[in-house]
Amino acid sequence: MVRPTQISLHGHRLSYRECGSGPLLLLVHGITNSSASWEPVLDELGEHFTIVAPDLLGHGDSAKPRGDYSLGASASLLRDLLIALGHEKATLVGHSLGGGIAMQFAYQFPERIERLVLVASGGLGRSVTPFLRAATLPGSELVLPLLASKPLVDAGAKVGRWLSAAGLRAGSGMTEVATGFATLQDLDTRRAFIHTARSVIDFGGQRIDATDKLYLAQAIPTLLVWGDRDPVIPVRHAIRAHEQMPGSRLKIFEGAHHFPHHDEPAGFSEALRDFVATTEPAQPDEARIRRLVLERSAAQEGSVPRGRSER
């Protein structure tokens, strides 16, 4: 097991795990989770890569301040962590909420990203599990303590262990959901969860949608990884995003759920190794990005961008 260490960034405690050697992978977990959610693949990936896996603010052993839990704020914090640890660039691997943060990082700091891996990622469509939609409702603060109560959490973990023992893949996902619920017993963690959820979700579903900018992803090697039985964010989001991201790759694990790196750790690690080995790191190219933006604007408006002439 890789032990977490801590660093202070902007006066806040940030916990992270670091191991391995080689090209840098920055692993970004999902909502209610922590860097511990990557444990099933840390040893394998650490044999080929340098791994940095932080606990986002409001999660795990990191601080839970009153503050900004938006995707942009989280992306900026990841940038600052890279700087503090002496890393210039990374391949970002984002799971669920972490996928949305990874995409925001790529948008804000294109000079610091080499590749993008989106694992059961948010930000690619409206649909999301009803529980997360309900967590954004007024008064959810009063209900969450009941859902996070020890008897319910213990029951969820026990179901997960039973399913795992029976060889059913749903086991790891159930256990991870129960582990996430358990963190909400703490008041500060619960407040941070609500702020985080409301920053990206409303009762109608996900309200942060990156699909209008996916055409820019052709400047960054991108891999989408999903389970075809994901009950939290449906696999159709991955299929549609793959079609909208020129040059992207898509890996779908049959029978896997919302945590494909738990259901298929060996296959997940192999997919990442192959992706990194067979792609070149993205190179900052502001002229190319400008051209893509202007061409898309022209296509949508049916006009010629300013500064260009018709031919």
Alpha helices in 57-169, H assignment, sequence order: 71-85, 97-108, 130-134, 140-147, 150-165
Nearest by Cα to 211 from 248, 231, 250, 240? 240
CA distances from 117 to 13, 101, 151 (A): 26, 11, 36
* 121 has catalytic annotation: no
Q: Is 289 helix (H, G, I), strand (E, B) or coil?
A: helix
User: Residue 263 burial by CB count (10 A; 0-12/13-18/19+): exposed, middle or buried?
Assistant: buried
| Residue of 96, 121, 172, 199 with catalytic role | 96
Residues 100, 64 contacting (CB under 8 angstroms): no
Q: Token pair for residue 44?
A: 């394998």
* 80 has catalytic annotation: no
**Residue type, position 29, single letter:** H
For tokens 């989001």, name the residue: 237
| Residue of 29, 258, 261, 262 with catalytic role | 258
Rounded Cα distance between 122 and 11, Å, is 29
Rounded Cα distance between 86 and 81, Å, is 9
Rounded Cα distance between 61 and 6, Å, is 9
* 230 has catalytic annotation: yes
| Residue of 95, 199, 230, 237 with catalytic role | 230
Residues annotated as part of the active site = 96, 230, 258
